[in-house]
């Protein structure tokens, strides 16, 4: 069986599978706070300085909040971020797909397809330039799909 035929690749927040992207424009509530997108909710946890986090949350798009967060110096990032970021993303995804029945249905409609974030620049969350990255976002989406009622 051809694995490519059983794979959904996504990256941008548009198109048929754009809803899988954290940049997809849909508000979520996490920790009692509403965020404009999953990306905002995820990146909020990265900032060590609360003032800087609040400023970044005013970014008019998920893309811009990601740029700001990726530009942080090591001392601007919450201590232990590397060890907590996956769990934060897990909670963000669960919130996104639990709070929006239409997105939940669309995720479940992917069945048992392999989900791959087709990012050439991120070998942790995506597949990376050489397509041998960890695809952690895809893995967490498949985990979320299973936990909310999928295969």
Tens digit of each residue's pLDDT (9 = 90 or more) over 38-56: 999 999 999 999 999 999 9
Residue 63: count of CB within 10 angstroms of its CB: 13
Backbone angles phi, psi at 92, to 5 degrees: -60, -45
Q: Which residue in this structure is represented by tokens 């400023």?
A: 55
pLDDT digits (tens, 9 = 90+) for 70-108: 999 999 999 999 999 999 999 999 999 999 999 999 999
CATH domain 3-147 topology: Tetracycline Repressor; domain 2 (1.10.357)
Q: Residue 130 burial by CB count (10 A; 0-12/13-18/19+): exposed, middle or buried? A: exposed
User: Distance between CA atoms of 13 and 33, rounded to whole angstroms?
Assistant: 22
User: Distance between CA atoms of 82 and 56, rounded to whole angstroms?
Assistant: 20
Taking the domains of the chain in order of start, what are their residue ranges?
3-147
Residue 91: count of CB within 10 angstroms of its CB: 15
- The pTM for the full model equals 0.93
């Amino acid at each position: 069986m051809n694995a490519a035929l059983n794979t959904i690749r996504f990256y941008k927040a548009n198109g048929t599978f754009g809803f899988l992207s954290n940049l997809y424009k849909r508000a979520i509530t996490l920790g009692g706070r509403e965020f404009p997108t999953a990306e905002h909710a995820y990146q909020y946890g990265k900032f060590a300085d609360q003032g800087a986090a609040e400023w970044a949350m005013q970014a008019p798009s998920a893309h811009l909040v990601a740029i700001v967060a990726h530009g942080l110096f090591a001392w601007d990032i919450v201590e232990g971020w590397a060890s907590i970021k996956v769990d934060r993303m897990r909670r963000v995804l669960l919130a996104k797909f639990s709070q929006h029945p239409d997105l939940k249905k669309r995720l479940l409609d992917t069945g048992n397809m392999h989900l791959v974030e087709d990012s050439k620049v991120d070998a942790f969350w995506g597949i990376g330039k050489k397509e041998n990255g960890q695809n952690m976002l895809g893995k967490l989406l498949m985990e979320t799909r299973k936990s909310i009622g999928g295969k």
